[in-house]
Amino acid sequence: MLEEYKAHHKAVWPDMLDALRRSGWRNYSLFMGEGGLLFGYFEAEESFAASLEGMSKEEVNQRWQELMSPFFEIPPGARPDQAMVELEEVFHLE
């Protein structure tokens, strides 16, 4: 299902992109490794928690998460965005 997942992300719905921007997501990237390991990075306008909370209120996000759920190994009834965790930056080279 990796190619299908990539195809969805080459054509993210415009209203989903608008919702991300409204919720303070900036410089958002997804990276995929072999076997489907996925790493996402974004800079939050306010905070990680505020950005997630903002998206949780967006109707388009509910639809997108439902579409993406089959691509993730998550607990039954959970959405992929509920499995996100904030990582601590320990090094940055500018």
pLDDT at 59: 97
Catalytic annotation, pick one of 6, 8, 9, 57: 9
pLDDT in tens, 30-73: 999 988 889 999 999 999 999 999 999 999 999 999 999 999 88
Cβ-based neighbours of 28, under 8 Å, separated by 6 or more? 20, 40, 41, 42, 43
Kindly state whether residue 89 falls inside one of the protein's structural domains.
no
Kindly state whether residue 52 falls inside one of the protein's structural domains.
yes
Q: What is the CATH number of the domain that holds 16?
A: 3.30.70
Kindly state whether residue 61 falls inside one of the protein's structural domains.
yes
pLDDT in tens, 5-39: 999 999 999 999 999 999 999 999 999 998 888 99
Kindly state whether residue 24 falls inside one of the protein's structural domains.
yes
Q: For residue 12, which phi and psi values (nearest 5 degrees)?
A: -65, 135
Kindly state whether residue 94 falls inside one of the protein's structural domains.
no
Catalytic site residue 9? yes
Tell whether the model's pLDDT for residue 81 goes beyond 80: yes
pLDDT at 57: 96
Higher pLDDT among residues 78 and 53, named by residue: 53
CA distance 69 to 50: 22
What residues make up the domain containing 68? 2-83
